[in-house]
Chain A
Amino acid sequence: MGSAESTSRTDANWHEAVIRALKDNDVRLVVYVPDNVLKPLIEAVQKDEFFTVFVCAREEEAVGIVCGAAMAGLKGIVLMQTSGFATLANVLASLAVAAQIPAVLMVSERGTLGDFQPGQAIVCRTMRPILQSLGIEHHTMTRLEDAHFTVDRTIRQAHLTQMPAALILSPLLTANRRKA
């Protein structure tokens, strides 16, 4: 809704593009487990009265909350980092995929393109195989020009088809300084 006209607009940065796509799709609930890369997005949605935003103890819990909200008519998104995603195989399989609930996940990708943590680099390798084996639609976001389009279309498809989906924020998008 309204996304056709807003797609042509340019965004100053990736989190602005994400927020615009969330609003275009009436995604009002944002539940997160903190991450440094996600910080500007978290701060921006916290300042914006359109959104209900709160932190969770664990990513699994956040998926439960967003699934409950989706079944009751409120669209939401879960924000996390790669290591948090690695805790989600069971809830994705046995709740979101099994019951066909459109839980939308946004994962800040750690463990690649210059990470300093061996643990992050190793757990990162599990993310796409888990998404693939569960048949969950996922896209890696690398370019600011495509950011709004990717988030907008992914959320729209998730809700129209009643399926979970994941958006992976690559360092190419979030840490590359060539933009702006």
Chain B
Amino acid sequence: MERDRPAVTRRNSKVMNRLDLTKRLVAKLKHEEAVIGGIGNANFDLWAAERRPQNFYMLGSMGLAAPIALGVALAQPKRRVFALEGDGSLLMQLGSLATIAMVAPRNLAIVVWDNGMYQITGAQKTATAEVADLVEMARGAGIAQSAWAKDEDDFERMIERALKEDGPWFIGARTDAETPKIQTPREPVAIKDAFMRGLGVKQS
């Protein structure tokens, strides 16, 4: 089949480190951008990278990082919003990609960490380890600006674009099997209150 293939595919993109990429991402956030860390290792590494008041750490509701980020993006259109989600989580809520494409918030970027496994439950394989390509799915859902990060420099360039230009963006990053060093405290109300203060919604 002769069709336009993106230059960087899941197969030829570099396997990187989730904590390293998370640190690179938050280092570029200079304007109180919101970051939603998906359940499990995505938010543990966000907690480890930097404890920003504009971070929301999900302790449940697997698969909902992108929908929560969409809600934040709609409420505060001037603020850039990032969702950090794992491959297993995103596979649970693929329909949300179609919703995001349809609503088309300019200030939203979804980052998927794809290590091809349900790492936190014992490293069982996800479908992305075999056949599924989440960037192709995002593009098929209608998010035109969807791509795999070729390497760390490429990832940083994509984040810089997502900070400057209109979204929505979908950034795929293949990641290794390193487990988080620390975990987010299980304090959902404290996390929510801190996030609402960080977004300027809660004053008390």
Q: Do A and B bind each other?
A: yes
Contact A95 B75 (CB under 8 A): no
Contact B64 A95 (CB under 8 A): yes
Contact B192 A99 (CB under 8 A): yes
CB distance from B135 to the nearest CB of A (A): 19
Contact A65 B191 (CB under 8 A): no
A62, B64: Cα distance in complex, Å? 9
Chain A contact-residue range equals 20 to 34
Contact B71 A57 (CB under 8 A): no
Contact A91 B72 (CB under 8 A): no
Which of B62, B93, B191, B192 has the largest count of A CB atoms less than 10 A from its CB? Answer: B192
B99 CB-CB contact with A under 8 Å: yes
Q: Can you list, as one digit per residue, whether each of A45-76 has a CB less than 8 Å from chain B (1) or not (0)? A: 00000001011111011111111111111101
B34 CB-CB contact with A under 8 Å: yes
Contact B201 A72 (CB under 8 A): yes
Contact B103 A54 (CB under 8 A): yes
A41 CB-CB contact with B under 8 Å: no
A131 CB-CB contact with B under 8 Å: no
Contact B102 A68 (CB under 8 A): no
Q: Which of A29, A64, A71 makes the CB contact (< 8 A) with B61?
A: A64
B36 CB-CB contact with A under 8 Å: yes
Chain B residue total in the interface (Cβ 8 A): 38
A106 CB-CB contact with B under 8 Å: no
Taking CB as reference atom, which chain B residue is nearest A93?
A: B60
A165 CB-CB contact with B under 8 Å: no
CB distance from B184 to the nearest CB of A (A): 13
Q: Which of B67, B76, B102 makes the CB contact (< 8 A) with A73?
A: B76
A165, B104: Cα distance in complex, Å? 28
Q: Can you list, as one digit per residue, whether each of B37-75 has a CB less than 8 Å from chain A (1) or not (0)? A: 000000000000000000010111111101111111111
B185 CB-CB contact with A under 8 Å: no
Q: Which of A60, A65, A98 makes the CB contact (< 8 A) with B71?
A: A65
Contact A52 B74 (CB under 8 A): yes
Contact A60 B93 (CB under 8 A): yes
CB distance from A58 to the nearest CB of B (A): 5
Residues in A whose Cβ lies below 8 Å from that of B102: 54
Taking CB as reference atom, which chain A residue is nearest B56?
A: A71
Contact A68 B75 (CB under 8 A): yes
Take A64-B61, A99-B188 as given contacts and tell me if A54 and B99 are in contact as well, using a CB distance cutoff of 8 Å: yes
Contact B103 A69 (CB under 8 A): no
Contact B98 A74 (CB under 8 A): no
A91, B71: Cα distance in complex, Å? 15
Taking CB as reference atom, which chain A residue is nearest B93?
A: A61
A98, B59: Cα distance in complex, Å? 9
Contact A68 B95 (CB under 8 A): no
Q: Which of B72, B76, B96 makes the CB contact (< 8 A) with A61?
A: B96
A-B contact pairs, 11 of them (CB 8 A): A52-B74, A55-B99, A64-B67, A64-B96, A67-B64, A71-B195, A71-B196, A72-B34, A74-B75, A94-B59, A98-B189
A binding-site residues for B, Cβ under 8 Å? 29, 52, 54-58, 60-74, 76, 90-91, 93-95, 98-101
